[in-house]
């Protein structure tokens, strides 16, 4: 029997989650009608001005808008979400011709939530082929000697791998599932194994970037990345690890991956409990100034719900309760429900050191909030 998250929730939490469904429908139907097949990113004063299909079609978050559209289609049955989602899907495929070198390890984010979502929900064979093209591109970045997938295309970064990639490798598990070819999943597992002992620390905190010897895979250095500095604890990096390893456990059946996800989750909630269930940008940054990141909260909530589906019944309440706590904190403190304004989740931060994307509404936080709330009601599409 399939585990029902909704039935496992406390009545008050179930009622709260149910109350959000019509608000999500109103918010994203209005955004869909305004944005259409453009690709939004950061809302400025309630308006999506920088449309990535115009400014940067290869941008790594460009799959999240069609992901929202597909999730809302699954939850509501409203066919009006399908056309713009497929038009974005076509835009992303065009990038392979127009800006191939702009693509890197983040193709999983881009195509899992667009073409693969289309195939999973509609069975469209063209969408399946597009997803397999992206999976093949990601597999081509694998270093077989050192057993990792290279991050980005920066000069002198041949040994770099990043914790974000744990979400991207889910497209490799999917590719093995639909083709029967084990090589994609083998790459995903080898990469996950490498990051589990180089990026994930014994206490459950994570490095964002690891610089590995390209022949041996030995850890050489841990560049600071998007957190405060090397050795700090970028909270969104922790959230990528939580959800990514939980998903890897789901696809591979490896208990070790679930154990990693749980270890990082315990570290995350122990820290966020100190700040009223709201996530800082970095758990190890100086006390001042204080910078927040709702992104880490909503991604972690999805990861906690994924863990809850895989652990024994007596363990589930911890993960379910914390998922709801994080989502309630985001909803009560940092959500703009006005359908006339673009952007739902506020106070998202891309990088500790940057001011231009600090504490702003980011569209991909909206995706994870939507996914998590729909999972609470057993209405979410499984897109990872």
Binding site membership: which residues?
A: 106, 164, 236, 240
CA nearest neighbour of 162 among 119, 102, 208, 116: 208
In degrees to the nearest 10, what's the CA dihedral of 244, 214, 210, 267? Answer: 50
Q: Yes or no: say if 183 and 139 are a contact pair by the CB < 8 Å rule.
A: yes
Contact 299, 239 (CB under 8 A): yes
- Which of the residues 13, 106, 282, 342 is marked catalytic? 106
Q: How far apart are the first and last CA of the chain?
A: 21
Which residue in 53, 118, 164, 282 is the catalytic one?
A: 164
Owner of token pair 């490799």: 172
Which residues are paired to 161 by β-bridges? 210
| Residue count of the chain | 384
What CA–CA distance (Å, rounded) separates 349 from 281?
7
Give catalytic status of residue 97 as yes or no. no
Distance CA 230, CA 224 (A): 4
Is residue 317 helix, strand or coil? helix
- Give the residue ranges of the annotated binding site for substrate: 106, 164, 236, 240
User: 257 and 244 in contact (C-beta within 8 Å)?
Assistant: no
42: exposed, middle or buried (C-beta count within 10 Å: 0-12, 13-18, 19+)? Answer: buried
| Active-site residue, 45 included | no
Return the C-alpha torsion angle 26, 363, 239, 209, nearest 10. Answer: 170
Beta bridge partners of 162: 209
- In angstroms, the CA 282 to CA 229 distance is 9
DSSP β-ladder status, 148-149 and 160-162: unpaired
Active-site residue list: 106, 164
């Amino acid at each position: 029997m399939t585990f029902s998250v909704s039935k496992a929730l406390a009545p008050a939490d179930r009622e709260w989650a149910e109350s959000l469904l019509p608000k999500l429908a109103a918010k994203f139907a209005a955004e869909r009608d305004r944005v259409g097949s453009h690709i939004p990113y950061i809302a400025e004063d309630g308006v999506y001005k920088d449309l990535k299909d115009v400014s940067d079609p290869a941008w790594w978050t460009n799959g999240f808008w069609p992901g929202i559209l597909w999730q809302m289609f699954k939850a509501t049955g409203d066919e009006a979400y399908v056309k713009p989602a497929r038009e974005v899907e076509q835009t992303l495929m065009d990038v392979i011709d127009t800006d191939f070198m702009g693509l890197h390890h983040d193709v999983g984010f881009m195509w899992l939530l667009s073409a693969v979502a289309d195939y999973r929900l509609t069975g469209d064979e063209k969408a399946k082929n597009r997803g397999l093209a992206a999976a093949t591109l990601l597999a081509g970045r694998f270093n077989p000697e050192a057993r990792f997938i290279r991050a980005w295309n920066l000069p002198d970064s041949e040994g770099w791998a990043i914790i974000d990639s744990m979400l991207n490798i889910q497209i490799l598990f999917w590719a093995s599932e639909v083709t029967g070819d084990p090589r994609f999943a083998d790459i995903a597992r080898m990469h996950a194994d490498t990051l589990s002992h180089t990026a994930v620390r014994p206490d459950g905190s994570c490095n964002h970037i690891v610089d590995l010897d390209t022949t041996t895979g030995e850890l050489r250095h841990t560049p600071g990345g998007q957190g405060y500095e090397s050795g700090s604890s970028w909270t969104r990096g922790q959230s990528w690890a939580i959800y990514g390893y939980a998903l890897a456990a789901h696809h591979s059946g490896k208990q070790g991956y679930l154990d990693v996800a749980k270890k990082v989750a315990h570290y995350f909630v122990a820290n966020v409990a100190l700040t009223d269930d709201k996530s800082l940008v970095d758990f190890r940054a100086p006390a001042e100034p204080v910078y927040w990141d709702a992104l880490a909260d909503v991604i972690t909530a999805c990861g906690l719900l994924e863990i809850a589906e895989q652990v024994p019944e007596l363990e589930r309440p911890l993960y379910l309760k914390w998922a709801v706590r994080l989502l309630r904190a985001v909803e009560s403190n940092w959500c703009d429900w006005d359908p006339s304004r673009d952007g739902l989740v506020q106070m998202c931060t891309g990088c500790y050191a940057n001011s231009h994307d600090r504490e702003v509404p980011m569209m991909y936080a909206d995706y994870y909030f939507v996914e998590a709330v729909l999972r609470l009601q057993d209405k979410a599409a499984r897109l990872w």
